[in-house]
C-alpha cells in the first residue's frame, strides 16, 4: 500500500497564493489548515469572495462543479493548478 502522492510544487505555490488571498482580501485573522474544510470556516458569501479573487488572480473560471469538489484549500489548489499550470503574474 502506498501513500497518496503529495502536492506538486505548482500546487504548493498555488496553495500559498490562495492563503495570501484569504488573509489579505478576505481579512481572515487565522490561517487555514491544508485539509480543513473551507465551508466550515467561510460562509457562502465569503466562499464567493474567495472564488472571485482566485478567478481574477489565476485568470480562470471556476464552475459550480469545481466549487463542489473544492472541499479544502488543498483541493482548491489542485483544481486551480490543473486549470492554470503556468505562473501568472499578479
Partner 1 sequence: MGRALPGNYADQETLTAALRAHWAAQHFNADRLEELHRAVKVKGRHLALPLAAYPPLDTFKKSNDAWIRVAEELGAEAVMRALDDAGLRPADVDQLVFVTVTGLATPSIDAKLVNRLGLRRDVKRLPIFGLGCVAGAAGLARLSDLMSSSPGGVGVLLSVELCSLTLQRDDLSVANAVASGIFGDGAAAVVLAGGSREVKASPRPRVVATRAAFYPDTEWVMGWDFRDTGFQVVLSAEVPRITRENIAGDVDGFLASHGLGRGDVRHWIAHTGGPRVLEAFQSALALPDGALRRSWTSLEEVGNLSSASVLFVLGDLLDSGEPRPGDLGLVVAMGPGFCAEMVLLRW
Residues lying near partner 1 in the complex (CB under 8 A) are found at 25-29, 42-46, 48-49, 51-53, 55-56, 59-61
Cβ-based neighbour number of residue 76 at 10 Å: 23
Minimum gap (Å) between residue 71 Cβ and partner 1: 19
Measured from the CB atom, is 61 or 89 closer to partner 1?
A: 61
Question: Angle formed by the axes of helices 44-58 and 9-24, to 10°?
Answer: 120
Alpha helices for 1-90 (secondary structure H): 9-24, 38-41, 44-58, 64-69, 73-83
Measured from the CB atom, is 8 or 39 closer to partner 1?
A: 39
Measured from the CB atom, is 8 or 25 closer to partner 1?
A: 25
3-state SS class at 72: strand
Minimum gap (Å) between residue 59 Cβ and partner 1: 6
Minimum gap (Å) between residue 84 Cβ and partner 1: 11
Amino acid at each position: 500500500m502506498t501513500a497518496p502522492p503529495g502536492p506538486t510544487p505548482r500546487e504548493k505555490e498555488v496553495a500559498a497564493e490562495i492563503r495570501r488571498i484569504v488573509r489579505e482580501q478576505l481579512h481572515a485573522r487565522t490561517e487555514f489548515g491544508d485539509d480543513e474544510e473551507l465551508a466550515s470556516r467561510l460562509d457562502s458569501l465569503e466562499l464567493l469572495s474567495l472564488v472571485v479573487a482566485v478567478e481574477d488572480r489565476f485568470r480562470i473560471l471556476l464552475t459550480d462543479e469545481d466549487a463542489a469538489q473544492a472541499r479544502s484549500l488543498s483541493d482548491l489548489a489542485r483544481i486551480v493548478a490543473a486549470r492554470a499550470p503556468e505562473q501568472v503574474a499578479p
